[in-house]
């Protein structure tokens, strides 16, 4: 900024001197023109007339003086405006430069954070191998980055309870990693799948079935307006999903979960329609909130809700989603459930479904 002010001062001085030289030249020219005019006056003019009528400054000379003043005023106005504009431009340029530097810094930090997150997300991608049971004195070997120590021995103070893990919106390309983690902890879960994703990842569907996981239907569109448009649209999407599952894995299921849960979309008419088709509709009573938190907080949310249900009877059904973030922190949840002596089992058609009660 100091360099800019110095340049402005130098330019101002230079322009000022050029204008002074120009004006001085005009004064000299006007002076000689006036002298020439005086010499051309008639010699017969009397001294008396000369005394009575003093010589007035020539009109041309007066006009030049006025013009000079106008030029000087215009010059001062232009110099001030030019200086002000230049100062404003420099100020804006400086602000733009600072903003650009700030944006670059923020972009670099975001890129760094994204890289770290991607690195963490890729961690569970390697299937977790089952560990053989070894004496307690022998430390467990590290098989990969997702492998954890074997679950801590269940405390005798914690009676064995059952919890039902359910995963919505799959399958995904990393469904195999979820299954590997479940196998590592001796757990089974239920996967409510979308028809389009089953077509996209048919091998994941086959793996779920062959591994003894439970599978259910989640519809086709996952769009509230389309799915809940009528009783026919609800049943139609579940039927289409059911046919696709049978074509891919050669099995049938009547377990369903409607998009976003049954309340308030599933009216009594809709519920009766799916019941008549033999479907068993499941909601949940613990929302992991993994769709909202997308980090370790979803595990903390489940633990907090489990504590509130410690004295309640009936099945505990936890909803999760097939997301990378869910997979990343799933070992922490499975560690906790195992340490608290929870058995993780799949849903089946013989069970009475957990459903929302018209909140």
> Are residues 329 and 209 part of one domain?
yes
- With a CB cutoff of 8 Å and minimum separation 6, the contacts of 109 are none
Q: Is residue 314 part of a domain?
A: yes
Instruction: Measure Cα distances from 200 to 16, 104, 245, 249, 259 in Å.
Output: 78, 38, 12, 13, 19
Q: What is the pLDDT of residues 282-297, one digit of tens each?
A: 999 999 999 999 899 9
51 or 320: whose pLDDT is higher? 320
Mean pLDDT of 336-340: 97
Q: 């369903």: which residue's tokens?
A: 256
Identify whether 169 is a catalytic site residue.
no
Q: What is the pLDDT of residues 101-159, one digit of tens each?
A: 665 665 566 556 545 544 544 444 444 444 444 444 443 333 344 444 445 444 445 77
> Are residues 167 and 269 part of one domain?
yes
> Are residues 195 and 91 part of one domain?
no
pLDDT reported for residue 22: 80
Phi first, then psi: give them for residue 115, nearest 5 degrees.
-65, -40
Band (83; pLDDT cuts 50, 70, 90): low
Instruction: Measure Cα distances from 330 to 122, 162, 178, 189, 313 in Å.
Output: 14, 18, 8, 13, 25
Q: What is the pLDDT of residues 192-250, one digit of tens each?
A: 999 999 999 999 999 999 999 999 999 999 999 999 999 999 999 999 999 999 999 99
> Are residues 82 and 211 part of one domain?
no
Its pTM stands at 0.58
pLDDT reported for residue 85: 60
Where a domain ends, among 121, 147, 170? 121
pLDDT reported for residue 342: 97
Domain residue limits at 117: 2-40+56-121
> Are residues 202 and 332 part of one domain?
yes
> Are residues 182 and 107 part of one domain?
no
> Are residues 232 and 96 part of one domain?
no
Rounded Cα–Cα distance for residues 288 and 298 (Å): 5
Which of the following is catalytic: 148, 218, 222, 321?
Answer: 321
CATH number for the domain that contains residue 165:
3.20.20.370
Torsion of CA 334, 337, 339, 342, to 10 degrees: -130
High-pLDDT (> 90) share of the chain, %: 53
Q: Is residue 129 part of a domain?
A: no
pLDDT reported for residue 156: 46
pLDDT reported for residue 87: 63
Q: Is residue 93 part of a domain?
A: yes
Band (82; pLDDT cuts 50, 70, 90): low
- Assess contact for 217 and 238: CB atoms under 8 A: yes
Rounded Cα–Cα distance for residues 213 and 221 (Å): 24
Q: Is residue 357 part of a domain?
A: no
Mean model confidence pLDDT for the chain = 79
Of 338, 335, 329, 339, which is closest to residue 288 (Cα–Cα)?
329
pLDDT reported for residue 13: 77
> Are residues 219 and 274 part of one domain?
yes
Q: Dig out the tokens for 224 from the structure.
A: 């509230």
pLDDT reported for residue 73: 66
Identify whether 321 is a catalytic site residue.
yes
141 or 339: whose pLDDT is higher? 339
Mean pLDDT of 288-307: 96
pLDDT reported for residue 27: 77
Compute the C-alpha angle 334/121/175, nearest 5°: 60
Phi first, then psi: give them for residue 260, nearest 5 degrees.
65, 15
pLDDT reported for residue 15: 80
> Are residues 168 and 316 part of one domain?
yes
Rounded Cα–Cα distance for residues 259 and 257 (Å): 7
Rounded Cα–Cα distance for residues 233 and 274 (Å): 11
Q: Is residue 51 part of a domain?
A: no
Which of the following is catalytic: 148, 168, 177, 283?
Answer: 168
Q: Is residue 278 part of a domain?
A: yes
Q: What is the pLDDT of residues 168-201, one digit of tens each?
A: 999 999 999 999 999 999 999 999 999 999 999 9
> Are residues 336 and 201 part of one domain?
yes
Where a domain ends, among 121, 144, 176? 121
> Are residues 313 and 167 part of one domain?
yes
Q: Tell me: pLDDT of 86 over 90.
A: no
Q: What is the pLDDT of residues 24-34, one digit of tens each?
A: 777 777 777 76
> Are residues 334 and 269 part of one domain?
yes
Q: Is residue 23 part of a domain?
A: yes
pLDDT reported for residue 200: 98
Q: Tell me: pLDDT of 57 over 90.
A: no
Look at the chain and report how many structural domains it folds into. 2
Q: 């600072």: which residue's tokens?
A: 98
């Amino acid at each position: 900024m100091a360099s800019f002010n110095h340049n402005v001062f130098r330019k101002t001085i230079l322009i000022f001197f050029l204008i002074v030289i120009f004006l001085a030249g005009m004064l000299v020219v006007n002076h000689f023109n006036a002298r020439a005019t005086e010499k051309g006056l008639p010699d017969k003019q009397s001294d008396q007339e000369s005394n009575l009528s003093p010589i007035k400054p020539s009109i041309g000379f007066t006009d030049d003086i006025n013009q000079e003043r106008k030029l000087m005023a215009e010059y001062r106005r232009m110099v001030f405006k030019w200086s002000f504009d230049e100062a404003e431009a420099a100020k804006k340029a400086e602000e733009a430069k600072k903003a650009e530097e700030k944006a670059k810094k923020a972009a670099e930090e975001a890129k760094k954070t994204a890289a770290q997150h991607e690195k963490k997300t890729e961690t569970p991608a390697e299937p977790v191998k089952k560990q053989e049971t070894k004496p307690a004195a022998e430390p467990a070997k590290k098989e990969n980055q997702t492998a954890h120590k074997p679950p801590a021995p269940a405390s005798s103070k914690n009676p064995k309870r059952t919890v039902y893990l359910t995963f919505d919106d799959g399958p995904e390309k990393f469904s195999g990693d979820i299954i590997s983690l479940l196998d590592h902890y001796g757990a089974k879960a239920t996967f409510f799948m979308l028809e389009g994703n089953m077509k996209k990842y048919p091998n994941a569907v086959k793996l779920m079935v062959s591994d003894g996981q439970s599978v259910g239907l989640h519809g086709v569109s996952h769009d509230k307006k389309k799915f809940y448009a009528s009783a026919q649209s609800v049943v139609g999407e579940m039927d289409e999903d059911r046919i696709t599952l049978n074509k891919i894995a050669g099995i049938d299921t009547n377990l369903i979960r409607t998009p976003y849960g049954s309340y308030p979309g599933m009216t009594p008419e809709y519920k009766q329609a799916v019941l008549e088709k033999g479907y068993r509709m499941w909601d949940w009573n613990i929302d992991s909130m993994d769709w909202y938190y997308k980090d370790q907080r979803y595990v903390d949310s489940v633990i907090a809700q489990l504590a509130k249900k410690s004295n309640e009877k009936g099945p505990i059904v936890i909803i999760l989603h097939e997301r990378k973030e869910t997979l990343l922190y799933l070992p922490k949840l499975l560690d906790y459930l195992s340490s608290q002596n929870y058995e993780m089992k799949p849903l089946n058609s013989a069970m009475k479904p957990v459903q929302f009660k018209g909140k």
